[in-house]
Chains A and B, each alone.
Chain A
């Protein structure tokens, strides 16, 4: 009678670092640096337009030593974090309101393609005139660029909860708030996290863009300062920093969160 079926091993647990992957990444970086060095030595571009990897390395050390890079990162992250938190809150509340008030939901949803595709930089002039040349102006751009993604994904995740879950829950006596907390929200979580990841990427685009145009500190500002000083090595250092931070946040935070949820649900992991 008893079915003795071995539980499948959870895909998480001990994850050994894939040596092949590490080797491939190292190889890729080596080729990248090599091509860069060759391009530099070819003399096609003046040194001022294309510095050597070595010069960029020196600038990197210099920017760390005078602490401008760390300060830039700090300011950018503070703005981004605050704006993103506001964006999540407003986005989720509005998304839920869209579910609750169907007419409102349908109307806003019909605008969603335009809202999601709207370029974040296009908010900058509006924000400068409305709020001004300050932290809040930048945060406004970040919020406007990511809030719709949170809102639309909240709306669609909740609406796409399989009706059998809701029927089963109602049948067991769940309704109102409890139905929402115990069933709708957890059932919507996997797709909600995807929306949050997307919103994070929009917010990241927006903050660098906004800082280039309207800030006196932060990574975007440092990038623009590199241009003003005709210091390509600084531009490249900041670009690499922006790249690395984008990668880090997504891989270490959001992807981990998503994978944890997906493995609990038994959904396929990315790349499988």
Chain B
């Protein structure tokens, strides 16, 4: 198979991407291939540049070296084939849930009844049908993230880019969302790039887990998580994987803590 054909099969190719902010070297020669429909999680200590990598893939950050290909096409700017789900959801408080989910379609000038139909379908998928006309402040944290997922899905992107989307939620809500997200992945066959600093979350969700080192971030290790779906966060088999990932990350977390980039707990 030629390289060209191989690229066609890849939903996403990150090739030798590096980034510097002045003196700060954040990404160091990162290369990742993501298969069509794969659920890939990237875990690394806080402040290591995970989010930067995601922004680069999204096309929101353009000052880097290296290349990013989606379906073999180089990424130059943002596009509706790659939608980000941010940690805070970034839903618009002046719009209802329905209007939020319709937003991308409205921007794309999709006719009103068509976009309503699409939006309602995805709102139903994340089980928020009862809250179609609610404003954002009326939703709980978990509901907000589900609405954000629906808003991303409504644009029918090839790739979902999730930037620590569950980091600010309580454990119970998170557990529910793990299950829902796995179902959505099963049903939609989207390629998902999921970034987190939570090791168990990474192991629970990912088909594959990539461990990034502390700054400058490079790929430290890769784990294939070959466990049946739908996985639960307290699955005993998962703990074995999580422990192996933890071993890899220990040193990096120590380095991060020494730098006091952020005072945060990692597990």
Contacts and interface: CB of A to CB of B under 8 A. Distances in A.
Nearest to B143: A3
Interface residues of A, number: 27
Interface residues of B, number: 37
B78 A171 contact: yes
A246 interface: no
A164 interface: yes
B177 to A, nearest CB: 10
A186 B93 CA distance: 9
Interface string A97-110: 00000000000000
Given A5-B143, A174-B107, A182-B103, A266 B94 contact: no
Contact of A1 (B59, B93, B94, B179): B179
Contacts of B47: none
Contact of A172 (B94, B104, B142, B179): B104
A1 B135 CA distance: 21
B104 A173 contact: yes
Contact of A167 (B79, B90, B104, B137): B90
Given A172-B80, A172-B83, A173-B80, A1 B176 contact: yes
Contacts of A66: none
8 contacts: A168-B86, A168-B92, A173-B78, A173-B108, A178-B107, A182-B107, A189-B94, A266-B137
Interface of A: 1-3, 5, 7-8, 164-165, 167-174, 178, 182-183, 186-187, 189, 261, 264-267
Interface of B: 58-60, 78-80, 82-84, 86, 88, 90, 92-95, 103-104, 106-108, 127, 131, 134-140, 142-143, 151, 155, 176, 179-180
Please name the 6 residue pairs, one residue from A and one from B, whose CB atoms are nearest each other, closest first. A266-B137, A172-B104, A168-B90, A186-B94, A164-B90, A265-B93
